Amino acid sequence: MTFQLILNLLIGVIWMFLSESYSFASFIVGFVIGAALLYLLNRFIPDSYYFKHVRAILYLIFLFIKELLLANIEVLKWVYKPRLNFQPGILALPIDVKKNWEITLLANLITLTPGTLSVDVSRDQRYIYIHALDLPDVNETIVSIKESFEKAIREVTR
């Protein structure tokens, strides 16, 4: 991934010098041309195409924004209900991510989403303990988190 990014940046700089236009727009044009060339010649380069990771990062950001908006709407509905009939609870989420920064990112994404709070990570780093404001079905919540945030984090890192 790093080799391709450096090569793409170099193509952008070379394009800027060849076009004799030393502006940021000229560099961006060269960068886009370099990205297209790297995509076309990807089978000759040993690494996987690095833009795949950029796409996965953008997907993770948009997923978080979507979940943030949906959770805010849900919490807003609870606030304005005349009777509070939610079921708070704590669950142990089994996690498949292994690196410390992946676990930290997952725990922070869970905590930043309204209605959930990452309480602790088990000593063996196999579980994250989560407090949820409304926990009607534990298995559904686990599957939801694993299929959204954890899957997106794995796409970024692998």
Residue at 123: amino acid letter: R
3-state secondary structure of 83: coil
Q: What are the CA-CA distances from residue 51 to residues 8, 57, 133 (Å)?
A: 11, 10, 37
- What is the rounded CA–CA span in Å between residue 144 and residue 82? 28
First to last CA, the chain: 11
Residue 70 has pLDDT above 90, yes or no: yes
Find which of 16-25, 36-45, 99-108 is predicted with most confidence, using mean pLDDT. 99-108
Rounded percentage of the chain residues whose pLDDT exceeds 90: 45
What is the torsional sign of CA 53, 60, 88, 118?
A: positive
